[in-house]
Amino acid sequence: MVIRVGTRGSKLALKQTEIFIEKLKSELKKSGENEPDFEIIKIKTKGDKILDSPLSKIPGKGFFVKEIEEELAQGKIDFAVHSLKDVPTEMPENLVISAFLKRDPPGDVILGMTKQEIALSSEKSKVKIGTSSLRREIQLKKMFGKNIEVIPIRGNLDTRIRKVERKECDAIVVAYCGVIRLGFEDKISDYLDPREFLYAPGQGIIAVEARKDNELAIHLSKLVDDKESRFLGTLEREIVRKIGGGCNSPFGIFSEIKKEPGGDKEVVLFLKFCAFERNISYESYFKLSDFDSSEISECVREICEKVEKDIRRTF
């Protein structure tokens, strides 16, 4: 039996697919189940074809996943592996996120200069910082002021690093999780506090997608599904869906689960919606006891109702 796993052809996408397959093999070995063969299918997406435009300028949604989802829906592949932040909140009816892998650090990092170096240099001249994310651009300008120039930059992480080395820009801001997965930690100049410099909803989580009617794929997914990642990933995506904005909108979030001494768990959610027409900052605490589906749904409902009410009252 061969399990076909679809993904983009980028180095990061392929690495994330390898992480999923190795994790699944490990869990199958632990459970004593037979291990199938795996075949990685590279699929080119709209986002891979359009390289001369910032992500915020590409029309539509799901430009890193749509073509892969089409192959999945047609039964040409058994799994699709994505960065959760790239998956639209509205999904095809017959598909489901079957596994949320354990989350890597979700924040952003700077390569090329430290925060202090950027602040000092920007007092004398323009500092060029590369990113294709409008969310990052908004927060960078708020953090460092107007004397930075944001340079649209796309491509693999090593390509972006070379742009810094060739002085095409002074620094780049990228997701910490991608740096970890590709082994470029030694290139990090500084860390952006995720409580202050908010990350994209779902960032740091590898998402596995399957057809709802594929019983084997659903079963295998359960072996690698991480309860905490599923909770936070679902929560963050649902807030985006309720409040407004897609996976390529400037929407920043911070959420974490803290264990209390008594055994209960608490989700701390910091939500910030960054849009040109309005700027919403929201923070709240919610107590939880478990991560089953009813708890997720109930917590999401309560949070979204409260956030929507606060937004209506404020604006």
Residue pair 42/7 in contact (Cβ under 8 Å)? The answer is yes
Q: Which amino acid is at 34?
A: N
Q: Which of 37, 48, 52, 86 is catalytic?
A: 86
Cross-strand bridge partners of residue 79: 5
- Taking the alpha carbons of 53, 244, 174, 64 in that order, is the dihedral positive or negative? negative
* Rg of the chain on CA atoms, in Å: 20
158 is catalytic: no
**Beta strands 188-191; 206-211: pairing state:** unpaired
Residue pair 154/229 in contact (Cβ under 8 Å)? The answer is no
Cross-strand bridge partners of residue 6: 41, 80
Closest CA to 174 of 102, 107, 87, 251: 107
Backbone φ and ψ for 34, nearest 5 degrees, come out as -65, 140
Q: What ranges in 55-185 are assigned the alpha helix state H?
A: 66-73, 115-121, 134-144, 157-165, 176-182
Q: What residues contact 207, with CB distance under 8 A and at least 6 apart?
A: 81, 82, 83, 84, 87, 97, 99, 100, 101, 233
Indicate which residues carry an active-site annotation. Answer: 86
